[in-house]
Copies of this chain bind each other. A is one copy, B any other.
Amino acid sequence: MTPTDHERSAVRVAVLGCGNVGSALVEMVLDPASAREIELSAGVRLEIAGIAVRRADARRWARPWFPADLVTQDAKGLVERDDVDVVVELIGGLDPARQLVEAALRAGKSVVTGNKALLASAGGELADLASANGVDLLYEAAVGSAIPVVRPLRESLAGERILRVIGIVNGTTNFILSKMAGEGATYEQSLLEAQRLGLAEADPSADVEGHDAAAKAAILASLAFGTDVVAADVHREGITSVAQADVRYAAQLGYVIKPLAVAERVGSGSTISVRVHPALLPASHPLASVNGAYNAVFIEGEHAGEMMLYGQGAGGRAAASAVLGDLVVAARHLRHGGLTPPASRRVALELVPVDDLESPFYLSMDVIDQPGVLAAVAGVMGEHGVSIRWMEQKGLGHEARLIFLTHRARGGAVAGTVARLRELAVVDRVGAVLRVAGTDGVGPSQDA
- Pick the contact of A155 from B34, B151, B286 — CB < 8 Å? B151
Distance in Å from the Cβ of A132 to the closest Cβ of chain B? 14
Q: What sequence of 0s and 1s flags, for each residue 129-162 of chain A, a beta carbon within 8 Å of any chain B beta carbon?
A: 0000000000010000111100110011111110
Q: Which of A55-63, A77-85, A299-307 contacts B (4 or more CB under 8 A)?
A: A299-307
Distance in Å from the Cβ of A36 to the closest Cβ of chain B? 10
> Is A173 at the interface (CB under 8 A from chain B)?
no
Interface size class of A (residues with CB under 8 A): 35 or more
> Is A315 at the interface (CB under 8 A from chain B)?
yes
- Pick the contact of A159 from B156, B286, B311, B328 — CB < 8 Å? B328
A160 contacts which chain B residues (CB < 8 A)?
146, 321, 324-325
> Is A337 at the interface (CB under 8 A from chain B)?
yes
Known A-B contacts A40-B347, A41-B341; the reply to A307 vs B146 at CB < 8 A is yes
Q: What sequence of 0s and 1s flags, for each residue 307-322 of chain A, a beta carbon within 8 Å of any chain B beta carbon?
A: 1111110010110111
Determine if B159 and A226 form an interchain contact, defined as CB atoms under 8 angstroms apart.
no
Contact residues of A between 42 and 74, Cβ < 8 Å to B: 42-43
> Is A241 at the interface (CB under 8 A from chain B)?
no
Determine if A303 and B339 form an interchain contact, defined as CB atoms under 8 angstroms apart.
no
Distance in Å from the Cβ of A329 to the closest Cβ of chain B? 6
Distance in Å from the Cβ of A3 to the closest Cβ of chain B? 14
Determine if A161 and B34 form an interchain contact, defined as CB atoms under 8 angstroms apart.
yes
Determine if A155 and B329 form an interchain contact, defined as CB atoms under 8 angstroms apart.
yes
Known A-B contacts A152-B151, A158-B42, A328-B158; the reply to A301 vs B146 at CB < 8 A is yes
A303 contacts which chain B residues (CB < 8 A)?
24, 28, 146, 317-318, 320-321
Known A-B contacts A304-B312, A310-B310, A341-B43; the reply to A156 vs B151 at CB < 8 A is yes
Rounded to whole angstroms, the CA-CA distance of A315 and B312 in the bound complex is 30
Rounded to whole angstroms, the CA-CA distance of A339 and B327 in the bound complex is 16
> Is A389 at the interface (CB under 8 A from chain B)?
no
Known A-B contacts A152-B151, A159-B325; the reply to A308 vs B308 at CB < 8 A is yes
> Is A107 at the interface (CB under 8 A from chain B)?
no
> Is A332 at the interface (CB under 8 A from chain B)?
yes
> Is A38 at the interface (CB under 8 A from chain B)?
yes
Of A37, A289, A304, A308, most buried by chain B (CB within 10 Å of CB) is A304
- Pick the contact of A42 from B148, B327, B333, B341 — CB < 8 Å? B341
Rounded to whole angstroms, the CA-CA distance of A327 and B159 in the bound complex is 8
> Is A336 at the interface (CB under 8 A from chain B)?
yes
> Is A379 at the interface (CB under 8 A from chain B)?
no
Nearest chain B residue, comparing its CB with the CB of A160: B321
Nearest chain B residue, comparing its CB with the CB of A149: B156
Determine if A309 and B148 form an interchain contact, defined as CB atoms under 8 angstroms apart.
yes
Nearest chain B residue, comparing its CB with the CB of A27: B303
> Is A338 at the interface (CB under 8 A from chain B)?
yes
Of A24, A41, A43, most buried by chain B (CB within 10 Å of CB) is A41
A346 contacts which chain B residues (CB < 8 A)?
40-41
Determine if B311 and A307 form an interchain contact, defined as CB atoms under 8 angstroms apart.
yes
7 cross-chain pairs, A with B, having the tightest CB-CB distances, nearest first: A338-B338, A159-B324, A146-B304, A307-B311, A148-B156, A148-B152, A303-B321
A to B CB contacts below 8 Å, 8 in the list: A41-B341, A148-B309, A151-B156, A158-B328, A160-B325, A305-B312, A310-B310, A336-B338
